[in-house]
């Protein structure tokens, strides 16, 4: 039944829109669509972003692995390499620290009326993504392949079943959140 829904494109576009609306609503209510909050995280004065991300990861990690064990969901880990994930991540980070939004929160910032997000952020990201398409033929033969590890997951890396990794990671991330609260951040 679920795979029948997955294959119906108009239904999927509608579900995507609905998921986006809830996502944008949550991001705005959390303060993550505000430049001040994101930059505050990168300068260690406001830990809202880390609190949102870690509680999302804990919930989603346990939930998605449960759904997978029940046969209701499949994982889709992205492939990666050191040249792609780490170098691309650092370039993204330079943008993160100057723009003060990310591709999801910049859309949320537009929705709340932030003009720097619309005319600076969105336009810049479109230009940057277009530049990548120009460089892609050369990059894909070179640096993007360096240190390729494919669609590897942590359970595969450590050669254990996922349920040996999920609880310790959930406990460690929860402990980190408790520690943040305890020191008053």
At 57 the three-state DSSP class reads helix
Cα 14 to chain center, whole Å?
A: 21
Q: Which element (helix H / strand E) includes 185?
A: none
In the complex with other proteins, which residue's Cβ is closer, 44 or 184?
44
Query: Counting beta carbons within 10 angstroms of the beta carbon of residue 38, is it exposed (0 to 12), middle (13 to 18) or buried (19 or more)?
Result: buried
CB of 57 to other proteins, least distance (A): 5
80-81 vs 148-150, strand pairing mode: antiparallel
| Rounded Cα–Cα distance for residues 157 and 182 (Å) | 33
Contact 77, 152 (CB under 8 A): yes
CB of 138 to other proteins, least distance (A): 10
CB of 183 to other proteins, least distance (A): 16
| Rounded Cα–Cα distance for residues 110 and 115 (Å) | 7
CB of 94 to other proteins, least distance (A): 5
């Amino acid at each position: 039944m679920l795979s029948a829904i997955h294959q119906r494109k108009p239904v999927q576009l509608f579900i995507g829109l609905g998921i986006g609306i809830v996502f944008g609503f949550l991001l705005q209510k959390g303060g993550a669509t505000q430049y001040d909050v994101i930059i505050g995280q990168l300068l260690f004065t406001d830990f809202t972003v880390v609190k949102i991300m870690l509680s999302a990861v804990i919930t989603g990690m346990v939930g998605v692995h449960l759904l997978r064990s029940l046969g209701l969901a499949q994982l889709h880990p992205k492939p990666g390499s050191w040249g792609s994930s780490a170098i691309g991540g650092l370039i993204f980070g330079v943008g993160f620290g100057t723009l003060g939004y990310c591709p999801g929160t910049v859309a949320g910032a537009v929705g709340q009326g932030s003009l720097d997000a619309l005319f600076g952020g969105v336009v810049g990201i479109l230009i940057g993504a277009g530049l990548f398409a120009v460089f892609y033929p050369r990059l894909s033969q070179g640096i993007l392949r360096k240190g390729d590890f494919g669609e590897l997951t942590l359970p595969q890396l450590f050669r254990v079943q996922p349920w040996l990794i999920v609880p310790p990671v959930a406990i460690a991330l929860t402990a980190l959140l408790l520690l943040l609260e305890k020191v008053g951040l």
